Amino acid sequence: MGVVAFVYPGQGSQYVGMGKDLYEQNPLAKELFQKADDMLGISLSSICFNGPEEELRRTKNTQPAIFLHSVILTKLLRYRPAMVAGHSLGEYSALVCSGAISFEDGLKLVRLRGELMQRAGEEHPGTMAAIIGLEGYVIEDICREASMAGIVQPANFNSPGQVVVSGSIPGVRKSMELAKARGAKITKELVVSGAFHSQLMQSAGDGLRKTLATINIFDIEIPVYANVTAQPVKAAEEIRDLLYRQLLNPVRWEESIRSMVKNGATRFIEVGPGKVLQGLVKRISPAVEISGIDTFQEYQAAKG
């Protein structure tokens, strides 16, 4: 089977109908959906299964929805991967998989994180944009230049030639203009409720840090490759600090995957909704095996 790494999707991978087949066909999935509904005091299951899409897309709902879907699949699989990583929000799913945090604490944290990020986006309006076709160091350079117009910084180094920037609306739009001038193939503003992974999330970071201080986090055996450093982490206190820093700093996804491959990963499985990470991993490391588990049918085939 090779050395298996699990990777967990982040915001943007949600879709109406997600997890419905798991709920209908597996008692553990049903139990965890009901537990989440009770804990959050909302019908998250109904939002996942029936939408409407704009309700599912609200950051405070999206984050627990994707987390829940990913964790249910992880618990059904009952498999210990050699290493794990998650993209932004997905880092919380990865930490539950590795045993660093409990399902309950993870759910509480992602709901709070979603609410704080949504509020920070309302208080300090910002935006994000994908820039395709330029190297990461060129984008860093562009952001430095564009920051005369307003706050802007790299938010996600996703794969070779695909970087997302984040910040104030004038700053991000200026970076798009400069990127086009420097030869970017595509610059596209994203539909988001805030400038995630930028300084404009400072108030969300402060709120999250307070709650992180009260949560049980455990040292772990299965290394989690952290977004902030792209390196494996196992120590509880380091994890606590990195989760706070993750809100304000770029997701170093390309480097994380390269680190995992360097440390022996030969097979990646995306656990959770959608196929976003499968596409990114293929572009980063075409030689590795990559697949995904999202539906009940895919879970059965994987278990098989």
Residues composing the chain: 304
Residue appearing with tokens 């998989």: 97
Burial of 265 (0-12, 13-18, 19+ CB in 10 A): buried
Euclidean distance between CA atoms 106 and 70, whole angstroms = 12
Active site residue 147: no
* Crossing angle of helices 236-246 and 90-98, rounded to 10°: 170
The catalytically annotated residue of 197, 256, 259, 285 is 197
* Residue 88 known to be catalytic: yes
Peptide bond between residue 52 and the one before it cis (omega within 30 degrees of 0): yes
Say how far apart CA 171 and CA 184 lie, in whole Å.
17
Asked if 27 contacts 66 with a C-beta cutoff of 8 angstroms, the reply is no
Active-site residue among 13, 45, 70, 88? 88
At CB < 8 A and 24+ separation, what contacts does 210-213 make? 211/108, 211/109, 211/112, 212/109, 212/240, 212/243, 212/244, 213/240
Contacts of 46 (CB under 8 A, 6+ apart): none
Catalytic residues: 88, 197
